[in-house]
Amino acid sequence: MTSSEIRQSFLDFFKSKEHRIVQSASVIPHGDPTLLFTNAGMNQFKDVFLGSGKRDYSRAADTQKCIRVSGKHNDLEEVGFDTYHHTFFEMLGNWSFGDYYKAEAIEWAWELMTEVWKLDKNRLYATVYRTDDEAYKLWKRFLPESKILRFDEKDNFWEMGETGPCGPCSEIHYDRTPDMSGVKLVNAGTPDVIEIWNLVFIQYNRKQGGTLEDLKAKHVDTGMGFERICAVIQGKSSNYDTDVFMPLINEIEKLSGKKYSTELKNPDDVAMRVIADHIRTLSFAIADGAMPSNEGRGYVLRRILRRASRFSKNIGIKEPVLYKLVPVLVEIMKDVFPELTSHQSIIERVIKAEEESFLQTLERGLEIFEDIKNRLVQTNKNLISGADAFQLYDTFGFPIDLTELLARENNLTIDKAGFDEKLEEQRERSRNARKTLTKDVEIHDIKAKSVFIGYDELSSEAKVLYVNGNQIILDRTPFYAESGGQISDTGTITLGGQKYNVIDVRKYGNAIVHICDTEVESLIGEIALAEVEIDRRRNIMRNHSATHLLHEALRQVLGEHVKQAGSLVAPDYLRFDFNHFEKVNDDDLKKIESVVNEKIFQNIDVRTDVLPIEEAKKTPGIKMFFGDKYGDIVRVVKMDESFSQEFCGGTHVKNTSEIGFFKIISESSIAAGVRRIEAITGKSIEEFINNTQEKISGKQSEIEQLQVQIKQLEKEVSSYKMGDIKTQMQEWLKQAKIINGIRIVSQKVESDDLEQLRQIGENLRDELGKQGIGLIASILNEKVQLVCVVTDDLMKKYPAGKIAGEAAKQIGGAGGGKPHLATAGGKDISKLPDLLNNFESMIEKFIS
């Protein structure tokens, strides 16, 4: 069968199964800003899978032009070095939109392959997702279990890109080994056993951030490599040997005077395959409206062209040659893809011009590369520096992957990080240059009109109206451009598969201009996805609504004279300047806060009216800011109509409760009679509380540390005291009266508390050793405290408790305790000297 017949038989087969045969979509995914190029047949049905679009059929089939050179699906590296990967290929596909599912998909695939195309059943294997028992069981109807293999996410879970429809899949592989021994080679990356068909069971949507969401319905999405099935049916071991490529290869042979062999590693063959592959990508992309350029999608094409151009040089061709292949390609493809015929001339002209321009520097660049290489070889090194790679890029137009290719061929590597650094430096330079050069000037002449939809939406698709360097204008946008004190939104714009960071937004006339941090590819007329950084914007809205509440609270607490003199609404705080003659005192600040918070707690819906200015002005109590210019039609934002109504174009919360909480963090003077309040709301409060708490607990632990220190010092002091007392005690012993051989000590001491006094008593008892009785006294809390001690040998006869009780009586108190040590207390301080002086006579009496 010829390739045309194979393609047709696929479509006829699915037509007989009631599929609508549809046209291939463009290789440039005009409606999908998340993709650079169409990378699968299902791209044009993404909306149906996600449930946001409908078709008037539930089964479809087609051949889809695909390009896989970027993002999740990128086969560029393999192309030419093997015989079955391509940057451009046709994908034959059939789809069910919530109609049939796994059983029919598998059964029909088997029927087409074995009954219509009569492939050898013994050469087929099926793979299923590791947990997909359902598919496994279905395959058992056709294949022995030894030929049904389970694989994990890497091979059997198909995803379109970082986000989008996805699901488990089941692949069909074809064994080309002579003895059909290839079961171990499935998914092993060899041409002996190749994947020919992928049946995807789409049931999820991969969301930003990685989570999987169940789709409302289950769908089938299959894709077969057309060039591969042609090789299989035509009994060729290489896709390039089929009638899809042979005319191109033959033409390249003619132009170069080289012969194409079937030796896989022959460099001339590699070159011819690369050229045959790349010319298809270039031609189809240009036919569908893309152009080689310096950014985004256009740069991918330029890279591919330069790669092909360098390979043409490898096979000895010195002048532009790629464009000469276009007529051959058109001839092969024109019946299925008439767009090639209608764009043939432009495709040729564009490719030729690109080749001419690159050939001017290619020769010299290759010489430089040789120098770099020789330098490395001489010094026994193999790493090409970032600076060298950048020189090749910047001066000689060598895309980094071309230099990488040259490096690989010469067993060298590149310092890619170093290259990226240089590239970033250059971008920074041109950004800065642009900042000074293209500021507003060009954009002023723009007639573009953008509709601001960011009151209700934070993400939206929109048409590109204008691109200038890093500035882009859309027909509608959720991005707020700085005005009325509210600062601009930030976020991203996705366009042509590239994500650009929006770092500022400005209004010029009727146009809203997004300023990105890099140059934007000029894809005017295409659809972009504009996404505001949501959390940041929510914080801005909280602060803006809080500003209105603050304005009224100030008037209520400080007086009607308060007028707004300026404001700033940022994501992390708000600032409000107003006329007032003196510092706002703390009490008033608290009152103001509490008025605002009361309004937050009241869950008041925030409403907006758009009405003629004359009418709006009549509203009693309405606030307008003299610093703003207003048009004929104004927007009035209301929070509890009797409380706050203000002219305002800014974005606000839907209900005051979303503000969460309001806290003033500073009050100051900025000019004579003008005060400034800075405040925070919502999320910032969380941070504020956490910081405050941290500060408090910092102080707390400082205090705890100090307390520990104090205790420590107290201990030290008391041990010093104790040391002193011990020396004193020697004096006491010397002065002791001796009665009946018993030493009697009675002394007054300084002590801090009863415990210390008791401790002194214990020490005294130790010092006395034998035959001793002691009485010590301190004045504590304006009372006399006594401790009486008796040595072990006497304590039975003269228990300390008794002596203490007796002594206490003399000072108007009482006491008691153990025989060796007892305490007592009394109020009569004046009697203490007598007690101490007469203690020995008291003991004497006691003895007798």
Question: Which residues bind to ligand SER, rule: CB under 6 A?
Answer: 40-42, 93, 158, 198, 200, 221-223
Shorter beta-carbon distance to ligand SER: residue 160 or 285: 160
Shorter beta-carbon distance to ligand SER: residue 94 or 309: 94
Residue showing the smallest CB distance to ligand SER in the complex: 223
Token pair 């929109």: residue = 462
Distance, CA of 479 to chain centre: 20
Contacts of 801 (CB under 8 A, 6+ apart): 815, 816, 817, 818, 819, 822
Shorter beta-carbon distance to ligand SER: residue 117 or 157: 157
Shorter beta-carbon distance to ligand SER: residue 155 or 241: 155
Long-range contacts of 99-104 (CB under 8 A, 24+ apart): 99/58, 99/59, 99/220, 100/59, 100/220, 101/201, 101/218, 101/220, 102/134, 102/135, 102/138, 102/170, 102/199, 102/201, 102/220, 103/138, 104/17, 104/220
Smallest distance from ligand SER to CB 21, Å: 16
Contacts of 818 (CB under 8 A, 6+ apart): 799, 800, 801
Token pair 């000072």: residue = 811
Are 505 and 9 a contacting pair, CB within 8 Å? no
Which of left, alpha, beta for 411 (phi over 0: left; psi -120 to 50: alpha)? left
Shorter beta-carbon distance to ligand SER: residue 40 or 249: 40
Are 653 and 659 a contacting pair, CB within 8 Å? yes
d(CA 330, CA 666): 73
- The closest alpha carbon to 621, from 541, 545, 546, 548, belongs to 548
Smallest distance from ligand SER to CB 293, Å: 27
Smallest distance from ligand SER to CB 44, Å: 11
Shorter beta-carbon distance to ligand SER: residue 34 or 756: 34
Shorter beta-carbon distance to ligand SER: residue 48 or 347: 48
Smallest distance from ligand SER to CB 677, Å: 58
Shorter beta-carbon distance to ligand SER: residue 175 or 221: 221
Quickly list H helices, 92-187: 102-111, 133-139, 153-156
Shorter beta-carbon distance to ligand SER: residue 93 or 772: 93
Smallest distance from ligand SER to CB 389, Å: 33
Size of the chain, expressed as the number of residues it contains: 848
Are 820 and 800 a contacting pair, CB within 8 Å? yes
Smallest distance from ligand SER to CB 64, Å: 8
Smallest distance from ligand SER to CB 608, Å: 45
- The closest alpha carbon to 143, from 135, 155, 151, 131, belongs to 135
The number of beta carbons lying within 10 Å of the beta carbon of residue 172 is 22
Q: Where are the beta strands (DSSP E) in 178-313?
A: 193-206, 212-225
Smallest distance from ligand SER to CB 679, Å: 53
Contacts of 725 (CB under 8 A, 6+ apart): 749, 760, 763
Shorter beta-carbon distance to ligand SER: residue 158 or 732: 158
Shorter beta-carbon distance to ligand SER: residue 136 or 158: 158
Q: Is the torsion defined by CA of 719, 722, 727, 730 positive or negative?
A: negative
Shorter beta-carbon distance to ligand SER: residue 63 or 198: 198
Smallest distance from ligand SER to CB 202, Å: 8
Smallest distance from ligand SER to CB 75, Å: 12
Number of alpha carbons in the 13 Å side-chain half-sphere of residue 524:
8
Largest CA distance in the chain: 144
Are 292 and 305 a contacting pair, CB within 8 Å? yes
Shorter beta-carbon distance to ligand SER: residue 41 or 774: 41
Smallest distance from ligand SER to CB 40, Å: 3
DSSP state, residue 497? T
Smallest distance from ligand SER to CB 91, Å: 6
- The closest alpha carbon to 371, from 412, 400, 405, belongs to 412
d(CA 280, CA 303): 14
Smallest distance from ligand SER to CB 42, Å: 5
Smallest distance from ligand SER to CB 186, Å: 16
The burial class, CB within 10 Å (0-12 / 13-18 / 19+), for 17 is middle
Smallest distance from ligand SER to CB 158, Å: 5
For 204, phi then psi, to 5°, come to -130, 165
Tokens encoding 278: 């790349």
Shorter beta-carbon distance to ligand SER: residue 40 or 502: 40
Shorter beta-carbon distance to ligand SER: residue 200 or 304: 200
Span between the terminal Cα atoms of the chain, in Å: 141
